[in-house]
Amino acid sequence: MRKQIIWLRISYWVGAVADGFATYRMLFPKIAHGVEYRYALGLAASLMLGWTILLIWADRKPLERKGVLLLTVFPVIPGLFLAESYAVFSGVMPLETMLPTGILLVGLIALFSFSYFNARGAAGEM
């Protein structure tokens, strides 16, 4: 059971750090295309900060709150990926800018899914 908890905690903290970094980038963007853009980023930043806090909260009771990882795997991460894809296909962002984020998102899906399913048996052992 100890290894399952370690994997859950790694997942929560990797996710929290990634979301915290994304929150920072949203609050202090390198570019700003106007009031509407800044408004949308402000909304997104507040939700990203909330998810960061949610992942830290889940870490306090890792087995009991492992469902947070599933909520992150679907719909949160696919939603982020679709938004980034839309930006690429609409010409707002070049593909090479999105690739590192896309790779990170796929890695998060793999890590979170592994941690969740790895811990399913441990929940009954408590």
Q: What is the mean pLDDT of the chain?
A: 93
Check if the beta carbon of residue 80 is closer than 8 Å to that of residue 44. no
- Residue 31, pLDDT above cutoff 80: no
Q: What angle do CA 120, 123, 125 make, to 5 degrees?
A: 120
Q: Pick from 114, 41, 45, 105: which is nearest to 75 by CA?
A: 105
pLDDT in tens, 70-100: 999 999 999 999 999 999 999 989 999 999 9
Please give the model's pTM, rounded to 2 decimal places. Answer: 0.92
User: pLDDT confidence of 125, banded at 50, 70, 90?
Assistant: low
